[in-house]
Amino acid sequence: MAAPWTIDGVKEALAAKKISARELLADFYRRIEARNAELNAYLALTPERARRQADRIDALVAAGSPLPPLAGVPVAIKDVISTRGTKTTCGSKILENYIPPYDATAVERLEAAGAVILGKTNCDEFAMGSSNENSAYGPVKNPLAVDRVPGGSSGGSAAVVAAGLAVASLGTDTGGSIRQPGSFCGIPAMMGSYGRVSRYGLIAFASSLDRIGPFASKVRDVGAVLQVIAGRDPQDSTSTTAPVPDYGAELGKPLKRPRLGIPKEYFAEGMEAGVRKKIEAGIALFRKLGCEVVDIRMPHTDFAIATYYIIATAEASSNLARYDGVRYGLRVADDSLLAMYRKTRGAGFGPEVKRRIVLGTYVLSAGYYDAYYLKGQKVRALIAQDFRDAFTKVDAILTPTSPVPPFKLGERTSDPLQMYLADIYTVTGSLAGVPGISVPCGKIEGTLPVGLQIFGPPFGETRVLQLAHAFENAGGPEV
């Protein structure tokens, strides 16, 4: 396969009139046509919208006008992010025919920056899952090994970039749903700090954890997409006014001998030997780059999964109460209103979503609230404190993204708890609200990709991107 398109590559080719935005778009739709039946990564394409946008960009080129930062760049959007006039199913039967009347802010900003939206990508139902096998529309295949999962829940958004079916994409991350599929598909993938990117138009799973973030084939492009979607949005009161730095300009600056922390608890047990070997080689590469690497302790790490699955399911049970067959989506008719609710929800939700609604309702219910939900919120505070303590000693934290490489389809579907436990390295940062990136860190036996995760302090996106970029340039993806 030829080297993948980059954002700068697209812009240069357009400016030099080597290709038009319309031709580039047609080329991507041809690739999608050839590969999507196998991968099942796109759920819907948006050719009319894409052509209108491509024509706008071509008109700018023809007029010699300055091109916006993502001019003509073909992008894909996870199907939990609202797109006006295009079905947004959340990978669920309950929203099979749902057409949002508005665009998410992140989508609006991408398009305002010149990006061309190709379509919507498959994902675990309501973003609940780590393998993309919980989609009501079938699993996505990993483009690097089609008998294996692409990771989840943003499996489609990771797969389309890895397969060259989009230059960049948006995913969402609640407990690892951007970083883990990025790791499994061998591409960089990032969640900014909680509050960095507006959630307006993101269909809610767990509101105190949900974040929108980018996938691309290079760290520089991850930064370029984040640049466009980040920043205050009056429609989301949790989006912050903290200024958005110029990530691209910062990437070129030399590293100032950063101190990187290796949390002992992340390297204790449960990590596959092949992953460990690559991560250790990755850490050695950071040393070679002049970073100081020190051991740190994050003593509450082992409690993160339990905490996460209380808080995430509690918030989900509340957020998903809105699917009742009244205003949108599926309705299963009945003479009684309550029976209509029960039947609609029983028929519309898949097994993982039902399991989480039951668990989340239970931990919030009278008599159990203090023992579970309140306890979870308190341990969340301890986990966040671990991160605050760590960042008084180090500039960033290095960990594996996942304890295992991409596994075979169907291999882990029978045991939900085992599936949850594999989220151990990603849920911590989700609970604490810090930014994190997964950057490719070699392949086990040359085939199965490993991801190295870099956590930074709140609003330390620049540092996270600088480190990932330096690692990528120094050959990190081939260690």
Partner 1 sequence: MKISREDVLRVAELAYLDLSDAELETYRAQIDEILEYISKLNELDTSKVEPMAQVLADDQTADATLREDLIAPCAVAEDVLDHAPDPEPPYFRVPKVIDR
End-to-end CA distance of the chain: 21
Nearer to partner 1, 318 or 473 (CB): 318
Element (H, E) at 60: helix 47-63
Is 153 known to be catalytic? yes
Q: Taking CB under 8 A as the rule, does residue 306 contact partner 1? A: yes
Question: Minimum Å distance from CB 65 to partner 1?
Answer: 29
Taking only Cα atoms into account, the Rg of the chain, rounded to an integer number of angstroms, comes to 21
Indicate the helix (H) or strand (E) that contains 426: helix 424-432
Residue 321 found at the interface with partner 1 (CB under 8 A): yes
Report DSSP state, residue 235: T
Are the C-beta atoms of 149 and 155 separated by less than 8 Å?
yes
What is the closest distance, in whole angstroms, from the C-beta atom of residue 479 to partner 1 in the complex?
A: 33
In the region spanning residues 354 to 383, those forming contacts with partner 1, defined by CB under 8 A, are 354-355, 357-359, 361-362, 365, 372, 374-382
> How, if at all, do strands 448-455 and 396-400 pair?
antiparallel
Q: Which of residues 188-217 bind partner 1 (CB under 8 A)?
A: 194-195, 208
CB of 174 to partner 1, least distance (A): 13
Q: Is the CB of 62 or the CB of 347 nearer to partner 1?
A: 347
> For residues 251 and 437, is the Cβ–Cβ distance under 8 A?
no
- Report the distance separating Cα 211 and Cα 178, nearest Å: 9
Q: Which of 153, 154, 169, 193 is catalytic?
A: 153
Please choose, out of 116-124, 256-264, 283-291, 318-326, the segment that lies near partner 1 by the rule CB under 8 A: 318-326
Interface pick for partner 1 out of 152, 214, 433, 451 (rule CB under 8 A): 433
Which tokens is 33 given? 């046509």
Q: Is 163 left (phi over 0), alpha (psi -120 to 50) or beta?
A: alpha
- Of the pair 59, 381, the CB lying nearest partner 1 is at 381
Q: Does residue 384 touch partner 1 according to CB under 8 A?
A: yes
Could you say whether residue 65 binds partner 1 (CB under 8 A)?
Answer: no
Least separation in angstroms between CB 381 and partner 1:
4
Residues 324-353 binding partner 1 (CB under 8 A) are 324-331, 333-338, 340-343, 345-347, 349, 351
> How many residues contact partner 1, by CB under 8 A?
73
The span from the CA of 188 to the CA of 167, in Å, is 12
- Alpha carbon distance 241, 228 (integer Å): 15
Query: Which residues are annotated as catalytic?
Result: 78, 153, 177
